[in-house]
Amino acid sequence: MRRDWIAPCAVTLLAGALRFIGLGDQCFWGDELCSINVTKFPLASSLAYYSTDPHPPLFYISVRLMRQFGESETWLRAIPALWGTLAVLVLYLAVRQLHGTRAALIAALVLALNPLHNWISQDLRNLSMLTTLGALSVLLLIPIARGRRDRLSPAHALVTAAALYTNYFAFFIVAFQGLYLLWSRRSLRQLKHIAVPLLLFAPWTLFLVSQFIHGQSWREFTSLGQMLLQTWLAWTFNSFPWRPSTLSGLLEPLLARSGPNYGLVQLALSAPALLLVGWSLVRRKDRGNRLFAAYLLLPFALVLAVSLFVPLFSAKYMVFVVPAFAACVGLGFDAAWERSRILAGACLAALLLCGALGIAQTRNDPLYSKPQWREAFSAMASRTGPRDLLLVFSRHSTPDLLYYYRGDAPLKQIILDSSRLTVPDDSDELHLRLEKLIAERDTVWLADYMGYLHDPQRSVERQLDQRLERGEPISVQPYMGIRFIPYSSPQSADEATLP
């Protein structure tokens, strides 16, 4: 091995260790189970499912292939972990083509320690695959944009088409590449490099139209200011689907009574990263630097613009341009190093510290862990039997609960109509439904999961409280409020206390 490859290989190994260690420590959660459940359909049925699912099929196909050899959390999550590790090496190669080893190595190190990219690389969804394919597409675009190797066009077309078949956010990368080619080569003929992957994607267009017509978005609109703030904090700290990252392990004891100040403290801690990115955008004017600036800013701006009209924004989705963020940090460090090595080193150290703290929070803070179904059902096992009942609001919103439940108590749902979101508004209807379900049951366990969505008025709990005695709940995920609440009749409770 050549000596100049030792450092990038070491950074790639570090990235792999961070992404592969602990893959099976946490249970699958709802989004991940969607990826698994799609692959359980026969192929013909899968095509019908894709007409309503909001994602293209390529990632699901990879999950289907992996499931032929195992279904454990570690095995299946190896897919995004492998893609996430590969992204670090791809970014190193892309930056080195234009700016040399030092900037490339710093960019790779920043991506390796980026907490959002680490989290996505351990989540069985398509974002890790999209991020890597997008970075690989940019790597193949560089010689094409410089007019040196048009023979790479077929490889670029295949990789870009694969990104489109992975996640529709790849269209934002395609748009950025088209605009950059027009600017760098100043010829409409260069759009052929964008037209080919779009033509390869054309067979899927009918499914895309069907998904757009039948799809429903449960997200709410987010203001422009909130989108900017959430994205920046996600890039530097992390973003979880159920809770904003607050570095709770360090800051929560200090700022417990000043909630809004979390964002201000985080902005202060991430200011060095902003300084490096700004330095790369302002101080370096070469064409290569403009490529990574465009890679960062254009897709991001397009997502924000579309999100003002369609509620699709989520901070975690912005991971697909995290390689561009890391590249700009590397370029900014390289420019700052030439002026002040102390300033450059301090800024980089502060950013890497934020990343390390964010990763530690992901692994150690229970507020940010995925629901621990195995532990919860293990705790319930000695307290349930066939005469008990596990009550859920809806089977459709609890795929992870159903995936892990293996108990003796039968499982029943309160909401029978799959098109209905909340429990019956009519108290008499809900009363009759519950009376039928809990009749002749020793203990009724209410799975308080998605209760804020299905029963915002807590009608089910109130009615059970009136009829039965509530026991001590078993917590599954504290911040998400997931818990199992046991209810027993007064007679059963008295019998349980007899010697």
pLDDT at 254: 52
Taking the CB of residue 392, how many other CB atoms lie within 10 A of it? 23
pLDDT at 494: 46
pLDDT tops 90 at residue 19: yes
Q: Would you place residue 497 in the very low, low, confident or very high pLDDT band (cuts 50, 70, 90)?
A: very low
Q: What would the mean pLDDT of 292-304 be, rounded to a whole number?
A: 93
Check: CB of residue 463 under 8 Å from CB of residue 485. Answer: no
pLDDT tops 70 at residue 339: yes
pLDDT at 257: 46
Reported pTM: 0.89
pLDDT at 452: 75
pLDDT at 476: 85
pLDDT digits (tens, 9 = 90+) for 30-42: 889 888 988 887 7
403 vs 41: which has the higher pLDDT: 403
pLDDT tops 80 at residue 238: no
Contacts by residues 394-400 (CB-CB < 8 Å, ≥ 24 positions apart):
394/418, 394/450, 394/454, 397/30, 397/449, 397/450, 397/453, 397/454, 398/30, 398/447, 398/449, 398/450, 399/30, 399/33, 399/34, 399/37, 400/27, 400/28, 400/29, 400/30, 400/32, 400/33, 400/371, 400/373
pLDDT at 286: 66
Least confident of 84-88, 304-308, 415-419, 431-435: 415-419
Distance of alpha carbon 389 from alpha carbon 437, whole angstroms: 8
Distant-in-sequence, close-in-space partners of 158: CB < 8 Å, separation ≥ 6: 197, 200
416 vs 1: which has the higher pLDDT: 416
pLDDT at 52: 64
Q: Would you place residue 248 in the very low, low, confident or very high pLDDT band (cuts 50, 70, 90)?
A: very low
pLDDT at 251: 54
122 vs 230: which has the higher pLDDT: 122
Taking the CB of residue 414, how many other CB atoms lie within 10 A of it? 20
Distant-in-sequence, close-in-space partners of 164: CB < 8 Å, separation ≥ 6: 56, 170, 171, 174, 197, 198, 200, 201, 204
**Percent with pLDDT over 70 in the chain:** 86
pLDDT at 462: 87
pLDDT at 285: 61
Distance of alpha carbon 380 from alpha carbon 11, whole angstroms: 43
Q: Would you place residue 261 in the very low, low, confident or very high pLDDT band (cuts 50, 70, 90)?
A: low
pLDDT tops 90 at residue 417: no
Least confident of 226-230, 242-246, 385-389, 424-428: 242-246
pLDDT digits (tens, 9 = 90+) for 172-220: 999 999 999 888 777 777 788 899 999 999 999 888 887 777 666 666 7
Q: What would the mean pLDDT of 108-113 be, rounded to a whole number?
A: 96
Least confident of 12-21, 155-164, 176-185, 230-239: 230-239
Q: Would you place residue 107 in the very low, low, confident or very high pLDDT band (cuts 50, 70, 90)?
A: very high
pLDDT at 298: 93
| Residue type, position 380, single letter | M
pLDDT tops 90 at residue 326: yes
**Residue 152, CA distances (Å) to 137, 138, 144, 146, 396 in order:** 11, 12, 7, 12, 45
pLDDT digits (tens, 9 = 90+) for 354-391: 888 888 877 777 777 888 888 888 888 888 888 899 98
pLDDT tops 60 at residue 227: yes
